[in-house]
């Protein structure tokens, strides 16, 4: 991205913030709709610079989110690889997967609470259930659509199955797998908040509900801002890893056009 492009993009964000500031000031209803500066100040003192908030809320939330997401990644990549490599397995599992995928994960929350309690395991399981599908389906697609000449080349040189899997199939599916991982991260953030709003005694989602119930609107706004930052930060971190791992893909697709 050029410096000018970056400036343009940032200017839109800054414009939105300025609009918020002006509108909230004009509305003059600071209890319900505080200006941006008030919310940012609260975000800074009550979250960012408060070690207790990190230990008691942010860390547990991130822990659940990452546990659920990582579990989904392991299960999704493994199962997706099996399904992608084997047409028969795919044909048998397709209807079941289509059905399970169609269930909105939040409706499983009551069931999971009964089965697993309201602990971290339940939340990680819920997050994992929602996040696994984009990873699994993208992996299956990527693994199933390896360039045929890559396969022929591997066969002609009698490359063993495991080497083919690790050094040919998975790398060539990696761009699709990463797309799935990024989609899954977005879903994981949403499910983390939902699980924490309904059934928990700590975490960012819990604090959000507490603030709302005691009419601390500035805290509600600040927590929303925090969740936005968390989602953005996780996505940026993943994009950074992807850039390193898939450097070849960016280069190869750039020269192919």
Partner 1 sequence: MAPRRDGDRHVTGSLLELEHLGYRYGPATGTAPLAIEDVSLTVPAGSFVAIVGPSGSGKSTLLRLVAGLLTPTAGAVRIDGAPVHGVPADLAVVFQDYGRSLFPWLTVAGNVALPLRHLGLPAAEREQRVRDALGEVGLAGAAERHPWQLSGGMQQRAAIARAIAYRPRILLMDEPFASVDAQTRADLQDMALAVWRAHRSTVLFVTHDIDESVYLADRVVVLSQPPARVVAEVAVDLPRPRDQIETRASASFVGLRADVARRIHRPAGG
Q: Is 165 in the site for partner 1 (CB under 8 A)?
A: no
Nearest approach, Cβ of residue 87 and partner 1 (Å):
18
Segment contacting partner 1 (CB under 8 A): 72-80, 113-121, 151-159, 183-191? 151-159
Across the chain, which distance is largest between two alpha carbons, in Å? 74
* C-alpha span between 76 and 72 (Å, rounded): 5
Nearest approach, Cβ of residue 159 and partner 1 (Å):
6
For partner 1, give the closer residue by CB, 171 or 186. Answer: 171
For partner 1, give the closer residue by CB, 3 or 257. Answer: 257
* C-alpha span between 64 and 49 (Å, rounded): 22
* C-alpha span between 22 and 5 (Å, rounded): 26
91-150 residues in contact with partner 1 (CB under 8 A) are: 147, 149-150
Segment contacting partner 1 (CB under 8 A): 70-78, 118-126, 192-200, 249-257? 249-257
Q: What angle do CA 92, 94, 96 make, to 5 degrees?
A: 90
Q: Is 248 in the site for partner 1 (CB under 8 A)?
A: yes
Contacts of 163 by beta carbon, 8 Å cutoff, 6+ apart: 154
Tell me the helix, strand and coil percentages in the chain, rounded to 5: 85, 0, 15
* C-alpha span between 132 and 70 (Å, rounded): 9
Q: Is 157 in the site for partner 1 (CB under 8 A)?
A: yes
Residues forming contacts to partner 1 in the complex (CB under 8 A) are 147, 149-150, 152-153, 155-160, 163, 167-168, 171-172, 174, 248-249, 251-252, 255-256
């Amino acid at each position: 991205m050029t410096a000018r492009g970056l400036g343009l993009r940032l200017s839109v964000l800054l414009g939105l913030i300025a609009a918020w500031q002006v509108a909230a000031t004009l509305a003059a209803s600071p209890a319900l709709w505080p200006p941006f500066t008030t919310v940012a100040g609260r975000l800074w003192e009550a979250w960012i610079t408060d070690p207790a908030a990190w230990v008691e809320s942010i860390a547990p939330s991130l822990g659940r989110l990452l546990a659920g997401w990582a579990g989904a990644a392991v299960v999704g990549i493994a199962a997706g690889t099996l399904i992608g490599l084997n047409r028969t397995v795919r044909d048998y599992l397709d209807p079941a997967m289509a059905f399970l995928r169609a269930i909105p994960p939040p409706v499983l929350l009551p069931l999971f609470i009964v089965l697993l309690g309201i602990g971290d395991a339940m939340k990680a399981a819920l997050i994992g259930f929602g996040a696994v599908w984009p990873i699994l389906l993208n992996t299956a697609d990527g693994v199933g659509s390896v360039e045929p000449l890559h396969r022929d080349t591997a066969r002609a040189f009698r490359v063993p199955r495991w080497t083919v899997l690790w050094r040919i199939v998975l790398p060539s599916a990696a761009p699709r797998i990463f797309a799935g991982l990024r989609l899954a991260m977005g879903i994981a953030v949403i499910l983390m908040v939902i699980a924490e709003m309904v059934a928990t005694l700590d975490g960012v989602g819990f604090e959000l509900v507490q603030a709302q119930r005691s009419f601390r609107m500035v805290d509600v706004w600040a927590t929303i801002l925090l969740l936005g930052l968390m989602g953005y930060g996780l996505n940026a971190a993943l994009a950074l890893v992807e850039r390193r791992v898939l450097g070849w893909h960016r280069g190869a697709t750039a020269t192919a056009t």
